Structure 1
Amino acid sequence: MKHSRRRLSAVLGLTAALVVAPTATTSMAATGATDSTYVVLYRQGASTADAGQAIAAAGGTVVANYAEIGVIVARSANSGFANTVKKSSEVDGVSATSGLGTRVAPAAEGGSAEAEAVQATWGDTLSGRQWDMVQINVPQAHAVTGGSDSVVVGNLDTGLDFTHPDIAPNYDATRSADCSSGAATPLAVGNDAHGHGTHTGGTIAAAANGSGIVGVAPNVKLAGIKSSNDDGYFFPEMVVCSFMWAAKAGINVTNNSYYADPWLFNCKNDAEQRAIWEAERRAIRYAQSKGVLVIASQGNDRSDRTHPAFDDSSPDYPPGNEEERRITNACSVVPLEVPGVVGVTATGNLRLKSFYSSYGISTAEVTAPGGDSILQRTDAAPNGLVLSTWPATASCNPVRTVFDPGTGAKYCYAQGTSMAGPHAVGVAALLMSVQSGTPGQVAARLQQATNPLSCPDTSIYAPFPQLGGAPQTCQGGPAHNSFYGAGEVDALKAVS
């Protein structure tokens, strides 16, 4: 993981009712530099109406009260805050979230050479580089429809550069929000200092406007929901806020190109991890109950999510705290392994699973292009990477950076399951544009709008074993397997 003054004024002119989640009450009290953020999980069915008094009595302030799911986000400088709040019979768990963030997984290294453009027969000025769109029949789908502007995609990510020429035409300011504080506020200019969110957003819905690239669903609306800090760390209060916002803002489908929680694998037999996992799970289920389809990337650590054995990525903030630990199926990845979430693995230009992509027979519903700079460089994809929009002010490797010759807008090559997820989200948005349905119904149709892929010869992945040295293995048949799920998404099948 956008340019006119009129668009800017539309964002700055949002009313509080539109930018603060209607179900969250916020505190404007100033907090000190030593304050910590906490997620307070109330027991199922318990009222949070008096939470403000209880939090204040413990020396804290309420940042947001998500009464529908029994979750409070609070801040306090009192070192005994958690123990005090836990004494309430209505509280199920309390966890400090400061220092327990997770970060956008870095793309696997390799593929530094810039790809040369070829003559485009479809799309915009840089579409000759969009092998990924050709692979899933996006040009043919656009001959039928580019999607409906009544469909709104929420991109839960590092932010969104809504001033980018390819993003601005489809940007929905009223449904966008900044959840980096734990409570929804306006999405300001320059909010995506990382770049990841603008990249994923462009893949979903970059406008077909004659310049740059074209997204999978270039006519749908795109809402940016900033779910991380500027360094790309997704703290629990940000994730909870983002799903609660999506539920209330009328979002149809969300892209989630990250993993949430302090740990990549969240082990529910640990009290602190369980409280945060449960708060996030409740927020996701609440969004699903309001008609939001949740689609999530599998991750880039090339491991089997169904049979986890090791985790060496947790906790990853502050940097350097990671330590390898053995894990079991009692540990799970959020949002990927929450029931009803559609999991996406990554392919390259040879339609093989990307060397870095994680997978799992129980977690892989579909696959989509995410790039592969080592095993799958081709004439169409010389560097194996996926090109998409990028903020002008965010850093991108110079050899992976491309500027549109007409507008001067910035684009960047990247790879990862973070790039695969948005392709599946775009196809889901096209499905929703031609036929309505519940999240479950759309998820089922998405798995039908695929081209099945059989398990490949896994010997090609021998140089890229799972953590701990176990080889990557593929389970299942062509109808459904751990590498590809039901198959690679097909935009034309989605609209036919």
Structure 2
Amino acid sequence: MKYSRRRLSAVLGLTAALVVAPAATTSTAATSATDSTYVVLYRQGSSTADASQAIAAAGGTVVANYAEIGVIVARSANTGFANTVKKSSKVDGVSATSGFGIRNEPAAADEAAVEAVQATWGDTLSGLQWDMVQINVPQAHEVTGGSGSVVVGDIDTGLDFTHPDLAPNYDAARSADCSSGAPAPLLPGNDANGHGTHTAGTIAAAANGSGIVGVAPNVKIAGIKSSNDDGFFFPEMVICSFMWAAKNGIDVTNNSYFADPWLFNCKNDPDQRAIWEAERRAIRYAQSNGVLVVASQGNDSTDLSHPTVDVISPDFPPGSEQEREITNACSVVPVEVPGVVGVTATGNLRLKSFYSSYGISTADVTAPGGDSRLQLTAAAPNGRVLSTYPAANPCARQVIDPGTGAKYCYLQGTSMAGPHAAGVAALLASVRDGSSGQLASRLQQATNPLACPDTSIYADFPQNSGAPQTCQGGPAHNSFYGSGEVDALKAVS
């Protein structure tokens, strides 16, 4: 399984509540269809104050100037733009970001019919939420559903903030559309894929009597759109998203994607290194401003701590991917950035999902993401996770709430696991103050340890290299589950 991405569709007028932060200077200059987007990485300590003039002299325009981290997002139709800008002694690297991409998280094929069942907890469709029962969310809600002063930023394909399960908790002032590389208002109809709306529901769907209930139904949810309409998370979008989160009071971010254009970013390659470093700077800046970053491991059944081959980069335009040998000099963003909480996926039998990537150095916790191949049960007959979905978006396994007519969709992936962990982190932040590092540590403690399973069950799902999946470590910490499966009740007790 590979990560997929999402899209955007900007409609109607501006949202007055959103303000572009002054530190990200933006350009309103129009660009042509032949323009390319570039990330310009300045050397540490170098000022970007003269970037507009330097970029203009090279035949480009500045989209955003993130002076705090020494990163410029620029546009240019000049094919010699990168070579010209690189000549500056202030510039450490320049990388074009357009024309490549790795998609967010496609769901595995599953033809099981969707059948509504009697609700046994919470809202009308809560009887379908095996995932919440598995991590003790109903019991946690007897203590607290979270605080309205806590804000989770869902860095994803967008957010249908009109959905009746999301509208009550939507924070418009802290939401943004970063698909251009500079923050803009998040408009209605922005989630043309549905992935972001799905992850947001798992985090913070309201306990309002209808539909589902999120892990933290009383916290605020901010949509931070970090992909284009075709579902690709390009570097300028990811950088913009973390800078926005850092400056706008976001407590936790959920990141269910790999940052394009390469699945594994190899720092010994000059083009990849500039992107890798620019994104790392943005993430570090967010962390230094109190943001806990939670990230999904991916759906390649691969040991990220011992990578040997990348077979899907770059995946846009179609047919561009090349099989290449890689080492630990290559890493996945954001999950392998220091301080990021990496999340693997489990199914309803509390086994690692067949598709979930893992790693002794990258897996911090695990959470329900679904498993339609190895873990079908009476509670999870199709193995997948149910959550909110835009009404206009197609879903092969949909459920319509009988009262509101709102749409819900079954999906699986580490993209579904990440928001469970982010929701538990939001509960933790609701009951106790602390730095992002302290919150990360508490999240890893609010778990139930799981020992390595018999890995022969994964024989039909080898790594990209063809090697079998193997689990390393003991119950206290291993490559499949990290410190264990998150437990919402432990978080609030």
Q: Which residue number corresponds to residue 22 of structure 2?
A: 22
**How far has the Cα of 1:395 moved from its partner?**
2.0
Contact 1:115 1:381 in 2 (8 A): no
CA contact (8 A) 1:310 1:325 kept: yes
**Counterpart amino acid of 1:24?**
A
Deviation at 1:181, TM superposition (A): 0.2
Alignment of 1:112-261 (within 5 A): 112-261=111-260
Cα contact 2:116–2:399 (8 A) shared by 1? no
Q: Stretches of 4+ moved more than 3 A in 1?
A: none
Moved more, 299-308 or 111-120: 111-120
Distance 2:415 2:403 in 1: 28
Q: Please give the alpha-carbon distance, in whole angstroms, between the structure 2 residues aligned to 1:122 and 1:360.
A: 35
Cα displacement (A) at 1:182: 0.2
- Secondary structure, aligned partner of 1:282: helix
Tell me whether 1:285 sits opposite 2:287 in the alignment: no
Q: CA deviation at 1:323?
A: 1.7
- Aligned residue type for 2:131: D
Identity %: 82
Q: Which of residues 451, 463, 466 in structure 1 aligns to 2:463?
A: 466
The CA deviation string for residues 224-245 of structure 1, in whole angstroms up to 9 with x for no partner, is 0000011210000000000000
Q: Which has the higher helix share?
A: 1
Structure 2 unpaired stretches of 5+: 5-10
Deviations 1:59-85 (A, max 9, x none): 100000000000000001111111110
CA distance in 1, matches of 2:466, 2:102: 24
In the other structure, the counterpart of 2:421 is 424
1:382 matched to 2:384: no
C-alpha separation between the residues in 1 aligned to 2:394 and 2:62? 35
1:276-316 C-alpha deviation (Å, 9 max, x unpaired): 01000000000000000000000000000000011111001
User: What CA deviation, in whole Å up to 9, does each residue of 1:450-486 have, x standing for no partner?
Assistant: 0000000001000111112111000000000000000
Secondary structure (helix, strand or coil) at the match of 1:356 reads: coil
Q: Aligned equivalents of 1:436 and 1:107: distance in 2?
A: 36
* CA distances 1:170-211 after superposition (whole Å, capped 9, x unpaired): 000000000000000000000000100000000000000111
- Residue 118 of structure 1 and its aligned partner are, at CA, apart by 3.0
Residue 303 of structure 2 corresponds to residue 304 of structure 1: yes
RMSD, matched Cα: 1.2
Q: What does residue 435 of structure 2 align with?
A: 438
**Per-residue deviation, residues 421-478 of structure 1 (Å, max 9, x unmatched):** 0000000000000001111111111111000000000010001111121110000000
Q: CA deviation at 1:113?
A: 1.1
Secondary structure of the 1:318 match is: coil
Query: 1:329-478 to 2 correspondence within 5 Å?
Result: 329-397=328-396, 400-478=397-475
**Aligned residue pair count:** 484
**More deviation in 134-143 or 322-331?**
322-331
Report the residue type matching 2:470 in the other structure: T
Long gaps (5+) in structure 1: 2-7
Question: What residue is the counterpart of 1:5 in the other structure?
Answer: none
1:412 counterpart SS class: strand
Give the 5 Å matches for 1:256-267: 256-267=255-266
Q: Offset of 1:394 from its aligned partner?
A: 1.4
TM-score (structure 2 length as normaliser): 0.97
TM-score by length of 1: 0.96
Distance 1:411 1:272 in 2: 40
CA distance in 1, matches of 2:171, 2:221: 6
Q: 1:419, 1:33 → 2: CA distance? A: 35
Q: What residue identity is the alignment partner of 1:386? A: V
Give, in whole Å, the separation in 1 of the partners of 2:347 and 2:164.
27
Give how far 1:320 is off: 1.8
The residue identity in structure 2 corresponding to 1:246 is A
Q: 1:13 Cα shift?
A: 4.2
Residue matched to 1:37: 37
Distance in 2 (CA, whole Å) between partners of 1:190 and 1:349 is 33
